[in-house]
Amino acid sequence: MITFKVDDMTCGHCVSKLTQALRDLDKHAKITITLEQHLISIESVSVSVEEVEGAISEAGYMPLRVENA
């Protein structure tokens, strides 16, 4: 599982935008977003940490990797 803290994710629109960005990487991935804690986790066998980080950044947000989440 890959987890990022995204402090500038503040509303439902942010969640939708980020979910779509991650779905574009892997439509079968398990994505968990906790808005209150500003956390995004993705379980995928086909994407790397760098790809997830890039997708979040390209969506306009600043991801911070959370180790051992």
Domain count of the fold of the chain? 1
Q: Which helix (H) or strand (E) holds 2?
A: strand 2-5
Task: Provide the domain limits for residue 49.
Answer: 2-65
**pLDDT digits over 14-54, tens only?**
999 999 999 999 999 999 999 999 999 999 999 999 999 99
pTM, to two decimals: 0.90
pLDDT given for residue 69 in this prediction: 57
Query: What's 29's domain CATH number?
Result: 3.30.70.100
18-43 core/surface letters (b: 16 or more CB in 10 A; e: else): beebbeebbeebebebeeeebbbbbe
* pLDDT above 60 (res 55): yes
